[in-house]
Chain A
Amino acid sequence: MALLQLSEPGQTAAPHQRRLAAGIDLGTTNSLVATVRSGNAETLPDPEGRHLLPSVVRYTEAGIIVGDEAKARAIDDPLNTILSVKRMVGRGLEDIKSLGGRLPYSYKQEQTTVPRIHTVAGDVSAVEVSAEILKALAIRAEETLEGDLEGVVITVPAHFDDAQRQATKDAARVAGLKVMRLLNEPTAAAVAYGLDSGSSGVHAIYDLGGGTFDISILRLNRGVFEVLSTGGNSALGGDDLDRVVAEWIMRQAGISDDAGHSLLRQLMHDACAAKEALTRTAVTELDVDLGNGARWQGLLTREQFNELVDPLIRKTLAPCRRALRDANLSREEIEDVVMVGGSTRVPRVRDLVGEFFQTPPLVEIDPDRVVAVGAAIQADILVGNKSDEEILLLDVNPLSLGIETMGGLVEKIIPRNTPIPVARAQEFTTFKDGQTAMAVHVLQGERELVTDNRSLARFELREIPPMVAGAARIQVTFAVDADGLLSVEAMEQSSGARASIEVKPSYGLTDGEIETMLRESFEHAREDVEVRRLREVQVEARRVIEALGAALSEDGDRLLDAAERKQVESALAELEAIAEDRDHHVIRKGMESLEKVCEFYVERRMNASVSQAMSGHKVDEFE
């Protein structure tokens, strides 16, 4: 008979109506799936008892293999075995190439911006590769729970941008899964520890994985986690700890740097084993097979190990310091530090991190599984297995969203850290007389200039009825759904002409750029304001030139004699000459003097239009 799970009071589902949900940690190196059974969130093992699924997909002519079996062939079949696909998700080919020699695949550049990897089983995109990993995890969950998954929650790094989030969602769709929500990884870790049950507080999530390091500062405020700041190092992780231990063995055993590949790989393996042993014991024995029958034996103590890895661990503290500074917080204000990632099992890591934040870090939940566990708890709530009183955890928009306005400036429509889902509208107008189309350029980032922000999408609103500049009312609505994905609509109010876009992301940022985006906005705050002031004046000057030119061609001949016209035109030329000046004072002065010169002309135009309006009417009609 079917096995039953304990439900919350009054929440027992009717037979065959059980709502099954899972949380998925789609990682760079390993992935996990977790679910809540009998009120208990746990990761699910495969039939061999392995919880971690290596995020490796191998394409063969006979079929697709995912996980340990694929990973085992990564060395002898590198072109068809895709590792670390998460680094490629939502990225363009140029970004991927800049990731360096780590990714050996042969790419095909198609007309689209999505790069495809060439394998024996055909060309595949990063989205399709990710979908295979998700499929394998979903099958594991469905076999375990003996039913179809109604929905999943998938975790993504806090610094993932819209393009990467959209690509992750696409991968789930390809895998046939319904994504109830994408959840930030640090937020998931905080949820796993129940930090969301408090009313407020600031928490640090320290995530040291196999190859990457991330630090996130979260603030809980009325049930909403805000990402205050993020930082990290995308090329620092447990593998680097192994490397320094391997190098130590080489020095001890007198192995030269040009040793063969297989020996080096063996050393990395031994180093990793020693590192793991030293999390439990104070000293470990090493017995290295040097090939050709020779062996090297030695002891490595925890003290020696600590000395070796100390510089690496201290390298993680600089981003922590920076993240605190970005969030405008001191170390004492951090209430809890959550440890995520297998490398946080190293006692020295825990010690130094605890020392830095002046609080013992939270380590009770397996650091490899904590993100998946948090995702499972969230999935269980979203699918409706909890009573209604449970607060639904909200997320926030990590970077501001806005559109380009005249002068290459960005008008922010949804500021960063706004709880999502959210919809905001703002009105814009036309710049030129008779303008019938408007380009909407959607941007993401904190800076004032378009060029310093990330371009997400462009579209055009057409069929604006011809009107004088500034008369059209165009409402632009930004809506961000619960997954942080954006749709933008522009509508001209009088005619109802509309155009919209689901963000079709233009891939274009490298890892480092995303991570530094926030920091730059703080560093450049002052000069950004200066630039904005200058650009606004430049736009204003151009508008004045435009309007005066239009007026002159309309009634200049009628209202001005030749000398007057020359006077106005030369003043106009003067402003034109300085309209692009770098000093906003100069431009403003130029506008003021033009205004003075044109005073009489403006007056005459006004009188003319008044008398035109009155002609044919009797004076008493106006009284």
Chain B
Amino acid sequence: MSITLTESAANHVLKFMEGRGTGLGIRLGVRTSGCSGMAYVLEFADESEADDVIFEDHGVKVLVDPKSMLYLDGTELDFTREGLNEGFKFNNPNVKDACGCGESFNV
């Protein structure tokens, strides 16, 4: 089981956390909603839950609840620029198809 961050993603997370001033790490997750089944959760984490699976990559603590872990195993979190926009991207090997917008997906 693993979740990894690209160097670019880790650098941005560290920068954002520094700007925020507080926080344990980031929380990755999935929840059911959206047009194509599942949607990603990407948040700052201030505290960990008892069941959380915790990874550390490039100096960033990543917290994932065990249920989400089933859908996220092997995911690499990247930070990229597309046109004027920039942000995080889940490279998730479990995904079979995503909706056109990419905000939700199926496994």
Contact = CB atoms under 8 A, between A and B. Distances in A.
Interface of A: 1-12, 14-16, 37-40, 44-47, 140, 143-146
Contact of A9 (B13, B27, B103): B27
A144 B42 CA distance: 19
Contacts of A37: 86-87
Nearest to B19: A40
A35 to B, nearest CB: 11
30 contacts: A3-B82, A3-B86, A3-B88, A4-B87, A4-B88, A4-B89, A4-B103, A6-B16, A7-B42, A8-B43, A9-B27, A10-B43, A14-B34, A15-B33, A15-B35, A15-B99, A15-B101, A16-B34, A16-B35, A16-B103, A37-B86, A38-B88, A39-B19, A39-B44, A40-B15, A40-B20, A140-B84, A143-B85, A144-B85, A146-B85
Contact of A12 (B15, B42, B82, B84): B42
A4 B18 CA distance: 19
Contacts, number: 93
A144 B87 CA distance: 11
Contacts of A39: 16, 19-20, 44
Contact of B87 (A3, A9, A14): A3
Nearest to A3: B87
A19 to B, nearest CB: 14
Contact of B46 (A6, A9, A47, A146): A9
A15 B34 contact: yes
Nearest to A140: B84
Interface in B4-51: 12-13, 15-16, 19-20, 26-27, 33-35, 39-46
Interface in B46-77: 46
A44 B84 contact: yes
Nearest to B81: A3
A9 B82 contact: no
Contacts of A15: 33-35, 39, 99, 101, 103-104
A182 to B, nearest CB: 26
A11 B44 CA distance: 10
B83 A38 contact: no
Given A14-B33, A144-B85, A6 B39 contact: no
A10 B99 CA distance: 23
Contact of A6 (B42, B83, B98): B42
Contacts of B101: 1-2, 15-16
A40 B34 contact: no
A480 B28 CA distance: 44
A482 B84 CA distance: 32
Given A9-B43, A11-B43, A144-B84, 20 more contacts: A1-B89, A3-B80, A4-B42, A4-B90, A4-B103, A6-B13, A7-B43, A7-B44, A12-B42, A14-B39, A15-B39, A15-B101, A37-B86, A38-B12, A38-B87, A40-B20, A45-B84, A143-B83, A143-B84, A145-B85
